[in-house]
Amino acid sequence: MNNFFKIILAFLAFLLFLFLAFLLLNLKPLENSLEKIVTNEMINSEITHEVTLVLLDFRSLDTLLEVAVIFLALIGIKTVSPLFRYEPLSFPFFITDTYDSLIFPIIVIVSFYILTSGAYQSGGAFQASAVLAGGFILINLTKPQFLKDMKELILRFIYSLGLLYFIFIGFFTLFNGNFLEYPNEYSYHLIISIETFLTISLSVILANYFINAVQRFK
């Protein structure tokens, strides 16, 4: 009996294969190729890098959900590890002074360059936020009192800033048609503004990932 069912399943699988092969061989070519669609959208949005365009135009809802996952991960970290306390490292003053006066501004400039260059080459919010997060981590290691002076309410606002702005733009675009379907005349500015807010928000979230990961018990 088992062999009989195996033969039936194999026969049905073969029929399914023939059916799918028939559909594949009879597919009609699209009137506009994917490359042409992307090229036309580049012209309309003035975003000339394919990855940035796909992430924040064609797949904008997916990117929004990815940002939401990153934000929720931080909430999870802060929720499940309330017993941990961070003990900052200490460095000689000449290192911390040099960093605060020279290295961190350079990190900010590099991060801003990566953010703005995402419109025409590899870069964008996620890469820029990773670089900027490294700067915040170094500040926390060298000058922990700088971050301790910031109120938790302000930090929570920064955590959620990128996600909230992304959602706000989504509802704003509903007046033009669909959720996160940007008007052609404003698409470039909307995408750049989303990337900017995401860079600020994600950099602080990623920095807090590290800070919470290296916490120690009192």
Per-residue pLDDT tens over the stretch 192-207: 888 899 999 999 998 8
Q: 0.85 exceeded by the pTM?
A: no
Contacts of 138 (CB under 8 A, 6+ apart): 99, 103, 104, 107
- Which residue is it, tokens 């379907």? 181
Q: Is 216 helix (H, G, I), strand (E, B) or coil?
A: strand
**Please, is 182 exposed, middle or buried when counting C-beta atoms within 10 Å of its C-beta (0-12, 13-18, 19+)?**
buried
Q: Which of 31-35, 40-44, 91-95, 209-213 has the least mean pLDDT?
A: 91-95
**Most confident of the ranges 18-22, 54-58, 74-78, 202-206:** 202-206
* CA angle at 96 for the pair 91 and 99, rounded to the nearest 5°: 135
Q: Is 85 helix (H, G, I), strand (E, B) or coil?
A: strand
